[in-house]
Structure 1
Amino acid sequence: MLLAALLLVAAGTTSAQGTCKPGFLNTVFNTGTPKHASWPDPIWSTLTSYGIQNFITFSLAPLPQNPLFDPAPNTPARSNPTLEKARIPIVMDPRDTAAAQTLLASNNTPPYLELFNEPDYSYGGATPLTDPVAAAQNLSPLVSAPHPHTTFLSPALANPNDPNWLPTFFDQCPECLSQIDIIAMHIYEPNIDYAIGNITELHDRWGKRIWITEFGPYNGGGSGCTFDQAGVAEYAKTIVPMIDRLGFVEKIFWNCGDAEVADVCNPSLTEEDGSANAVLEALGGACGFGGKGGSNLTVRGRGRGRGR
């Protein structure tokens, strides 16, 4: 079934005339990526012209309070309310929950709040591992607090279909299961059939809306992706309409919107000067923004596994 769907896309039967749902295309800005002179504009203007609506940063704090995004006191991000409004904040780990409770009690509550970023994976030893029982105990007071204007996203796992983490978390925190409306997931997989299967499996288990808050064929670490830029563009052009047609995925966040340096399988959407590259043209074009959709991709990526 998945192969047949891929062949339909490859034959160009998927229209790019705005077929993706509103707000479907989004991106990630990484804290560890150098911010060039084009940040935040014209990068953000370029991205939105290709249909990008929101972005995720690995921070609960607003951009003006994060020196990784605003190294100088008068940079445009400090005075750009449109940019901050488009940001989806994250309660990164248990160290952020007290601040998140304060945020929910404020007059500036976010419409969406992701609860923990890859608690099952320590990124180079810089981020803490959090087991599901501890996560449940930590997040229970937060999800139980009044939040009439905020929708919670689940912890986004490095291994979204881990047979134990989310089941244990929700078992230990039934209020989390009832208060979390969206399941967040990360998927780095060059094999399109395998990626679609992972997304479908997660939805089938929980029956909730899905946001793919990190997405791409590769983001470091042995996923088996060997695409050049043209290959990454073809991948985006092919898989994006397939994910949209699943129906239960509301948003995808391509990692990343920054200009990164990578020799193989570079996921960047923009150049250092803030202009669009072939990957952004393909990503937006798959949903009818700034280019043409369809694909002639016939060879999928090799290997399995996640990267970051």
Structure 2
Amino acid sequence: MTEPLPDQPDRVTIYEVGPRDGLQNEKSVVPTQVKAEFVRRLLAAGLETVELTSFVPQKWVPQLGDAEELMDLLGEEGLGQRRPVLVPNERGLDRALERGVTSVAIFGSATETFARKNLNRSVEESVQMFAPVVKRALDAGAWVRAYVSMCFGDPWEGPVPVEQVVDACSRLMDLGCDQLSIGDTIGVGTPGHVHRLLDALGDAGIGPEQTAVHFHDTYGQALANTMTAIGDGVRVVDASTGGLGGCPYARSATGNLATEDLVWALDGLGIEHGADLDALVRTSTWMAEQLGRPAPSRVVKALAGD
């Protein structure tokens, strides 16, 4: 039974981050063949946009050091605008383009401390580093997304002023990026804060049609924050099947919004999204077996009988 809300959208795009953000913080390295099977199962479940990996140096994130091998295993399934990969710098972009990638993402920060820890650069220096990456990607015909992390709070700096976040987002979008994803990396945001930030971004010329949201569920607020963003006009939502995720440079960052939990809420409202909930639950159950622990998703636990 569905019960729509007034003025809700007909459709929301799920931007699946499980294979990249979901796995990057796992302590034991997941075999490349398992990652490829994970991607194939996600695609078979109807997810249209799946972020595959990151072309980051292996010494930075050992879990993602097999990007080329994964892309080779996926073949044509891993190519196209709906198969983005993260690129940290020009070398990462070179590696991605060599594999035929046509959709990339860069990963900035709203705070100086995290920029230093994640990129070993200041916010300004990171923008300078990303400028040629974005230009070259666009010149190659690629679609470009800009992630901005720590948009609601930072484990070292505390609450992050909205104006500071808008400035960081504007700097990256001014490079020519197609889409912005605002991240609550440590999961401290609440609905009122989400609404205020989206309003401020709109005032700065970055409307909800350009914006995606990326919430972590540290304090159980990810779904509530997401529904607030959808109510404010956002139509792209980042989620991770099973609720997997974290950040290797911020220990207080726990799992992402679970794709299954998002799908359950969207189904209840009658909002189209294209994913098969039962197939996602089976995929999460399978992946949990590979990782040796249960999926954090509440919907997976309810439907799989965990």
State the TM-score bracket (shorter-chain normalisation): 0.5 to 0.7
SS of structure 2 residue aligned to 1:127: helix
Partner of 1:211: 212
Q: Distance in 2 between matches of 1:60 and 1:265?
A: 21
Q: Distance in 1 between matches of 2:57 and 2:78?
A: 7
The answer as to whether partners of 2:194 and 2:229 remain within 8 angstroms in 1 is no
Match of 2:232 among 246, 260, 263: 246
The unaligned stretches of length 5 or more in structure 2 are: 153-160, 247-251, 268-274, 279-306
Aligned residue-pair number: 242
Q: Given the superposition, is the C-alpha separation of residues 169 and 83 from structure 1 closer, same or farther in structure 2, using an over 3 Å criterion?
A: same
The answer as to whether partners of 1:59 and 1:90 remain within 8 angstroms in 2 is yes
The unaligned stretches of length 5 or more in structure 1 are: 1-10, 219-224, 270-278, 293-308
* Aligned-residue identity in percent: 10
Q: Distance in 1 between matches of 2:118 and 2:43?
A: 30
Partner of 1:147: 139
TM-score (norm 2): 0.57
The answer as to whether partners of 1:119 and 1:131 remain within 8 angstroms in 2 is no
Q: Distance in 2 between matches of 1:152 and 1:177?
A: 12
The answer as to whether partners of 1:156 and 1:184 remain within 8 angstroms in 2 is yes
SS of structure 1 residue aligned to 2:236: strand
- Structure 1 residue identity aligned to 2:232: L
The CA RMSD over aligned residues, in Å, is 4.7
Q: Which has the larger radius of gyration?
A: 1
Q: Distance in 1 between matches of 2:177 and 2:77?
A: 26
Equivalent positions of 1:40-119 (< 5 A) are 40=35, 43-44=38-39, 47-48=42-43, 51-56=46-51, 59-60=54-55, 68-69=63-64, 79-81=73-75, 84-85=78-79, 87-92=83-88, 96-100=89-93, 103=96, 108-111=100-103, 113-118=104-109
SS of structure 1 residue aligned to 2:215: strand
SS of structure 1 residue aligned to 2:11: coil
- Structure 1 residue identity aligned to 2:202: H
Q: Distance in 1 between matches of 2:9 and 2:110?
A: 35
Higher relative contact order (CA 8 A, sep 6+): 1
Deviations, residues 45-104 of structure 1 (Å, cap 9, x unaligned): 5545665333446622699xx862587x99x87522366335422233xxx224425755
Q: Given the superposition, is the C-alpha separation of residues 259 and 178 from structure 1 closer, same or farther in structure 2, using an over 3 Å criterion?
A: closer
TM-score (norm 1): 0.57
Q: Greater helix percent: which structure? A: 2
Q: Distance in 2 between matches of 1:265 and 1:179?
A: 29
Q: Distance in 1 between matches of 2:277 and 2:112?
A: 37
